[in-house]
A and B are shown apart, each in its own frame.
Chain A
């Protein structure tokens, strides 16, 4: 990996609620560490409510009560400008946003203000970073839109006048117009049909390569990761359980949970569907002791019930958190 743009270390983010005097804590992200390098697409996978969205909300410093960061660090390094997202003041944050760090959201068809013209969205989000007079700025926006095969006239349109696919492209254009160093994409294609999904993914990849940005791409869809991500992290119950180059993770999954996810993928020529996992992900308000996967794990051992397996490098650039996989390295 090239020099890291984002470093997350031992991050803990909990939903803390209190109702009728009883405190409740949902440990949505619990001890996650990873790095994302420059010009890299880092994929984040896992089933729903495994903490993916919470993790990237925290990274984007978009936490709102009851979600709270209780420990760990998130550090960005934008060409030497180091920013810690856990203690950044509002002014600095507003300066980073869009210039260095932008987002493409889940349901990004609805991210545009329905009662204002598209032009206003670009002005609101990006104008303050450009430092050029308005006509020059708008001309730059038009050029950028053309890159995404959008005509300049759409700036005068309202969101409802565009098709879903066009709105999606506008959202991507909006997120990339300031050439940010880092883009966070949270299931941006989930709501789209497969054809549109493919063209949107191709477009995201193209823009990312062209700008040389880093990208965190979150989706539960492993097929998308196989096509898009350079490296892949697998989350389970608020933890990162495996991480490696995408090809390595697919060819040689280490963690039993990852193995199960990958063997569950449909393959041409295979007609005996694999046996799924028994049970359900744990309740994060009261996770099981030891490894959080052990109640569902076919390889569970005695130690798994007592101790929490740390992340360990099993092969070069390929890490996993499991006692059964690499006992000699973990202990």
Chain B
């Protein structure tokens, strides 16, 4: 089901194909971390401050680490982080969105009031406060969980409006009257509509969580001993890499994370256009 959607998208939309290509590139670099000759947290394993050249193709840091291999760990951790946040927050937003949309009435009103609250509350100060009280106990998983608990609301609203429109459709009634079980209706009839939107919100959510993680890390407000893209930039700033002219220490992490953002964004946007009924209509007509 999802596969046919992807195949359609791949054929009909350049933006989707471009997004897949960018993400494939990023994933290959992340996978390369398995082949790294250096452990991620060891420093001074190579001569420091070397400009990009063979064998250190992206140069080395002032801490004596190879930028390329450091980057493979960093992007891997960053992606895993984004993925965990997205996974956990998907559970919350799916439950809230589907319950709200299907049950309706007072339940819907109460859930959506809470939902809108979470959309509006400024998350950054709260995450900083969280780091402030946790300090050294702050871990990477804890941050992921905290962000998942705060970052589900916008997507829950999208899923709710979809569930509401599905509920009103004729085939839902047809299904009910013909004696289908609720579980069957939800999994067989509605899933094909829900999955694309879950996919596109997942991409957006990963983007959002990686962005905040990078920001918090660069400020030093996370566990700075787990290499992520943000932590790499943090250390580069600590060694005033820009002033010292070690530009490759900053340039390559920024470039790679920007590629990731644009790749995820392209996937989300092309999926959104795919879902939009009007463009779907024009596709059928063509």
Q: Which residues of A contact B (CB under 8 A)?
A: 17, 19-20, 24
In B73-119, the 8 Å CB interface with A consists of: none
Residues of B within 8 A of A17 (CB): 285-286
By beta carbon, the residue of chain A nearest B283 is A19
CB distance from B7 to the nearest CB of A (A): 15
CA distance A17 to B285 in the complex (A): 9
CA distance A19 to B285 in the complex (A): 9
Name the interface size band of chain B.
Answer: under 10
Residues of A within 8 A of B286 (CB): 17, 19-20, 24
CA distance A24 to B286 in the complex (A): 8
Residues of B within 8 A of A24 (CB): 286
CB distance from B203 to the nearest CB of A (A): 27
In B251-286, the 8 Å CB interface with A consists of: 285-286
- Per CB-CB distance, the 5 closest pairs between chain A and chain B, nearest first, are A19-B286, A17-B286, A17-B285, A20-B286, A24-B286
CA distance A17 to B281 in the complex (A): 14
CB distance from A14 to the nearest CB of B (A): 14
Residues of B within 8 A of A20 (CB): 286
CA distance A60 to B286 in the complex (A): 26
By beta carbon, the residue of chain A nearest B11 is A20
CB distance from B269 to the nearest CB of A (A): 21
Q: Jot down 5 A-B pairs with beta carbons below 8 A, ordered by A.
A: A17-B285, A17-B286, A19-B286, A20-B286, A24-B286
By beta carbon, the residue of chain A nearest B12 is A20
By beta carbon, the residue of chain A nearest B285 is A17
CA distance A19 to B282 in the complex (A): 10
Residues of B within 8 A of A19 (CB): 286
By beta carbon, the residue of chain B nearest A19 is B286
Residues of A within 8 A of B285 (CB): 17
Contact with A along B45-68 (1 / 0, CB 8 A): 000000000000000000000000
CA distance A286 to B52 in the complex (A): 63
In B129-171, the 8 Å CB interface with A consists of: none
CB distance from A178 to the nearest CB of B (A): 34
CB distance from B235 to the nearest CB of A (A): 50
By beta carbon, the residue of chain A nearest B286 is A19
CA distance A24 to B285 in the complex (A): 10
CA distance A20 to B12 in the complex (A): 9
By beta carbon, the residue of chain B nearest A15 is B285
CA distance A20 to B285 in the complex (A): 12
CB distance from B273 to the nearest CB of A (A): 16
CB distance from B2 to the nearest CB of A (A): 23
CB distance from B83 to the nearest CB of A (A): 35
CA distance A17 to B286 in the complex (A): 7
By beta carbon, the residue of chain B nearest A22 is B286
By beta carbon, the residue of chain B nearest A20 is B286
CB distance from A182 to the nearest CB of B (A): 31
Contact with A along B197-211 (1 / 0, CB 8 A): 000000000000000
CA distance A133 to B243 in the complex (A): 70
CA distance A163 to B286 in the complex (A): 39
By beta carbon, the residue of chain B nearest A66 is B285
CA distance A121 to B286 in the complex (A): 36
